[in-house]
Amino acid sequence: MTDAETAKTAEMLQEIARDHSVVVVEHDMEFIRALDCHVTVLHEGSVLAEGSLDSLQNNRDVIEVYLGR
């Protein structure tokens, strides 16, 4: 998608989420940031961590599993 299409999709998902449950599976963290929502990180079929995108980007377990540090 173009940047404009991606932004419009984020807006539409936010609108839908006002009245419905929405699950988005995505690896584009800028898109997730645009959604400004609660995030769940999965690893090998289990929940690794949950919270805001900012908190997860600083989460020791998430960094170790996904960045190998």
SS3 for the chain, per residue? Answer: CCHHHHHHHHHHHHHHHCCCCCCCCCCCHHHHHHHCCCEEEEECCEEEEEECHHHHHCCHHHHHHHHCC
Range of the domain at 8: 3-67
Per-residue confidence (pLDDT) for residue 49, from 0 to 100: 97
Q: What is the pLDDT of residue 18?
A: 95
Does the global pTM surpass 0.85?
Answer: no
Number of domains comprising the chain: 1
pLDDT (tens digit per residue) in 12-67: 999 999 999 999 999 999 999 999 999 999 999 999 999 999 999 999 999 999 87
CA trace torsion 29, 34, 37, 39 (10° rounding): 0
